[in-house]
Structures are given as C-alpha cells and as structure tokens.
Structure 1
Amino acid sequence: MDYQDELVFLTINRKLDLAGVEIEEGQDLPLVKSSMVQNLKDKNWQESIPFINFLLGMVLCQTVDPDLAQSQGYDKILQKSPYQGQVISRIMTGDFDSQAKMDFLTSLEELHIKEEDISYLKTTLKEEEIRQGKKEGQDLEQSLIPIIKNYGKVSEESPFFGQALLRLSGIYAGLGQYIKARHYAREALLKDMPEEVKNQARLAIEELEDYANMEAVESYLNLQNLEKAKDHLGKVSQQYPNPDHVHYFLASIALAENNLEESEAHYQEALKLADQGLYHERLAFVDSQLGLIQEAIDHYEKALEKGSDPYTIHHNLAYLYPERDPKEALYHAKAAYNLNNSQELDDLIKTLEKNEKDLDRRDGFQ
C-alpha cells in the first residue's frame, strides 16, 4: 500500500458534512483514494471502497493533506477517538517501510500526541529491529530488557495501554515465560479495552493456557509441591501439542512419590511419542532403581548418543558396568572425571584400576 495515496477513513462521533456527503453520527466514512475525492460528493458513502483498516485513512490524512484534516476536525477526532491506539498500532506494524513510519511519527508529534505514546511507538520499532536481527537465547533476552521496561511504563490512560500489555505478553511467550505471558494477556482482557484488543487477548490466553500450566507443573515439581504440580497438570487440555511432555511430568511426579513402576510406564510412553535423550536418561535411572541394570545401561548409552548430559551419564555408567564389563566401567569413570575432577571419581578410578590389575594377575597364574 502506498501510504501517500491514502486519504480518509474514520468512525466519527458527531455528524459531519464532507464534500456534500452527510455522515450520520456513528457511521463509517469509507477509505477513499485521493483520485476519488472529487467524485465522492456524487456517491452515497456506502457505495465507496469497503471498510479496510479502522481509522487508517483518517490518520494518514494528517500526512497526505493536513489542511483537509484541520478543516474537517480530523486532528481533534484522532486525539479523542477510543480507537486511536489500535489504528496507530496497525500503521506501525503494517507493511510500510521504516521511513514511512518515521514520517508518521513526526506527524503524530505535530498532532500533540503525548510524548509517552510516541515513546511507545518508537519502542515498537526498536522491538522489530531486534527481532529482525535474529538474535536468540540469552542475547535476545538481554536485548529485550529495555523494550520490556518501556512497555511497562505505558500508563492506563494511554490509548496504547492494551497494545503494550499484548506486546509484553508476546515477548514473554517468545522467551518461554508463559505464566508471565498469560498474566499480561489477562490484564488486557480485564481492563476497559476496545473489543479488538479484548479479542486478541482472548486468543492469546487460549494459546498460552496449556503452556502456562506446564510451566507451573515444572516449577511446583522443583519445589516438591506435588499436589500443586498434579493440579496444574490436570488442567492441560487434549489439544496440547506435546503429549510426551505430559507423560514426562507424570513420570517425574510418580518418581518423586517413589512409585517406580508407574514412573517407568510414563517414561516409556514419553519415549514412544518422542525419542529424546532426556527421556532415555530418566528411564535409565528408574530402571537402575528397579534393578533392571542392563535396561538402565542401554538407555544411558542411547541418551549419550543423543547428546544428553554427558557427566551424569558417564558417572552412572561407571557404577553400573563393573560387574558386566570392568573396562567399560573404567572408561566411563575416566570420561566423567575429565568433565568433573571429583575426589569420588578419583577414588573410583583407582579402585577399578586396582581390580583390573588383580584380574590380570590372576589370569597370569591360570
């Protein structure tokens, strides 16, 4: 869309006579191209180009034809409109180049839009730049800290308050902090917001609910609050896209309750759904507790192949292998020691080496 070609589009809160066309209170003036302005007086407003972007043309009119905007009172309508935040946000996130958006920000300054609101809009541009930079992990999180702070400064009186809440929700969701993301989406829904903002909030909450509950499950498990963990796990819907995670947490809860058989069954189910190293590693631990030593070794070896925690796996295999294969036990003990030079492993290595020498000596006598 060439923003220089767009003129007028608004919902008015009073009667207005534009180019001979009388618009009743609450009616929508359609988006019109500048080439159509002369013909507008010969047409019924409902026959013009259909409703496209709420208030968009009216806002763009400030840039395209400020005299017309002033003569018709569009500048005052923009400042008073309850939809101001939605419309400006659409422009700032729309398919316009950076220069067009900067021109638009300049036009907002001329319309006496509050500095806090313009600061919010500049922050949205900065967020887009960061995301386009394709940063990931810790780098992305660090880059977004000032963005989060700026969105947090938007007051409830600002027309962009709801959009700021939704942006905070989106940022935290992208960082995997789903409880925080859901919190901000809920705030946007509970506050006195335009219906479009509330609809976006409802969709966000629906998408975040399962992920937030799963995050809560993990947090309560870490705190050993098993009842709370089970309560949140029970709230996860059948639509959750990663059912293996559900079985993983069911297995973890069962293990914390020392129900080894149930834990093993759920780890097995998780593995059927997703062949992950972590699941092999946890199942190996449960098997070792059940006395299923060969099964435990097999799963630890698979976990090692898949890049799971090497120190823990080498360490545990060093204790599982001695009776079956002393040389393998020594190999894993040394591998674990190279990753963590502990006295425990040093003592184990000396014991295994001594046993190996004793075995060689006995073989020599035979």
Structure 2
Amino acid sequence: MSALPGSAEGTAVTGLDSTPVDSSPEALADLPPLTEQTRLEAREIMARYPVARSALLPMLHLVQSVQGYVSPEGVTFCAEELRLTKAEVGAVATFYTMYKRRPTGRHLVSVCTNTLCSVLGGQRIMDALSADLGVHHDETAADGSITLEHAECLAACDYAPVVTVDYEFYDQQDVESARELVAALRRGEKPAPTRGAPLTDFKGISRQLAGFSQYEDPYEMAAAVDHHGDYSPTLIGLRLAEERGESAPAMPRTTPSEAPDAGEPAETVAPTGRTGATPGEEAADARVAAADTPAEKAGAAGSHPDAPEPAGRRLPDGRAGTDTPAGQEPGTSGQGPASPPPAAQGPAEAPRTIEGRSTPKRKD
C-alpha cells in the first residue's frame, strides 16, 4: 500500500477522516433546494418505522439524491423532521462512508484495494485512475464527472479486482479496462455493468437507497430488476456439481424427541410444588436427572443452587467470602486467627443430596 499517514489514501485505509462538511460558498451556490416534495418523501420514510429516528439513514440518502451530498442544510432538514439535534445527525452522517461530506461527481467510482483485489491489481488501478483524473481519494475531477474513492472490500472477492460505479459492479478489471470505463463515463456514456441493474448516476442510486424507485417508467424499473448479469464465478461450484452429479449430504431429519429443548425436563416448566423445594431447586434437580453423560451431569450438579462453594470462596467461619481472594482469608496470611472459631450453636441443617454428586459434610 502506497498510503502515508495523513494522506488522502491513508484516510481511506484507516477510516480516520476528520474532514468537515463542505459549507463553502462555492459548494452552496448551485445546490438544489430541499423542496416541500422532499419533505413529504422524508415523512413517507418516517412512516415506515415504529420509531421515527430509525428513518435517519434512508433520509440521508434522500438528501444526497437531491443535493449530491449531505449538506449543512440536509443535516438541519433531518434534525428538524426527526426532532434530533444537528450533532446527532452529523455524528451518523460522518460515520458511514456512503454519506458524502462535499459535492460528489455525476458518478462515484470506487476501487477495491482490500487484500485480494489489491494483490490482483486493485492498487494499480487506483493509482492509474488517480493519475488520469488528477485526484486522490474522495476527490472529484475538475469537470465534475467522477468522484474517485478507495473501497475497503466490495464483498465480491470471487470477481477480483472489482470496481463499482454508483455501487454497480464492474468485475475482474485491470488497469486498461478501468481506464476505458472511466473515459466512457466522462464522455457521458453509461457502460453496462457486469451484473446488476443498468447504470444511472450517483443521485439516482441514492434515491434507490432511500427506498424510492429511480425510474419513472415502470417498464424501465422492471427491466432493471430483470437485467442480465454474468454470475459464473459465483455459480461455478454449483455448475460443476451438476455436471458431476454431486450433491451435498442430506440433512438429518429431526424427530420431536431430538428437538433442541427436548432434554429439558418438564419440572423446569411446571414445578410440582414438592414440600421443601423451591421451583429453582426442582428445575436444577431435573436438569441433573436428565443429563446423559458424566460431563453433563457434573456441569448440571455444579450449577445447582445447593452445590458447595468452590474452594477459596468461603471463609473458615462459614461466611461467604466473595470479596476475599483465595488464599488470603483470615488465618492464612498471619493477619487473622490461626484456628477456626467454635461451631455455631443450634440444630444442624440436613444436607440435600444432588444426584450424581454428594454434598460434602461440613467439619466443625
């Protein structure tokens, strides 16, 4: 990786970006306004959720679909509609990389530079496009056509190296094919993605992410959903299995007696009311009785309410010693009585016996 600390590439790789939202006069001069229609659509998004603030993420995409990035006006807009502070909205908008802090180009080109893509040429692609466009990570070409960014894994390792344009996939790229793709985009063309829907632009896909169709024509929307794609790298294992007549082993059928909770005795659900035992003790007794192996039986017995305290957790006088480290009880470090005090007066309580484990008798 060629990134250096403090560089734009380094910011992309580490995720540590303190760049403020762009509120310069130049950025705000030609910014499309957030209209009443935008407000109505925001409220439509809010109505999808039982708690209004859950709508914040798609609402930020809605702002980007209008203005091309999350502007200061967009932050205020979301805060007002959701009754949040601008700090709360800003904290979310600056946490996720899909929300942009300054005006974005007509298309967002993302180059995966994570491990596999980088090894197969992803970093070379990023360096070449950066040189051609005269920009670094998260910067926009002078003609406003392309915003270029590093991407930390595009979840398509079987298609590496991967480039996306407005989150649509262009798979198994190399330096020359990526250069040709970007050159076509700058000419106003929209090359067909390797798979997925036809390419639109960054604002269009932002509207899609907000939960609205970016296609006014229903036929265009249907065509986008059914668009052909090359899925051979992902499906090659399935196709080879079909050719060879191979299949995965059948899953064992689960009978009612083998259900996950079948080993839980009925006593844990409906206590019998046996004299002298609490529901918790009855349930613990039943778990011990239902254990199938010595290890399970020992584990159930160890968690029983009547199980003896582990060594080092009870003091010589019989008091609970939960705050005293083992081996530092009075009498063991020269700071207390060397011999235990006289036994407590009164009738001794009969010890309960747990199946598979007897409770040790206390020595007076």
Question: So what's the TM-score if we normalise by structure 2?
Answer: 0.20
Question: So what's the TM-score if we normalise by structure 1?
Answer: 0.20
Which structure ranks higher in relative contact order (CA pairs < 8 Å, sequence separation ≥ 6)? 2
Greater helix percent: which structure? 1
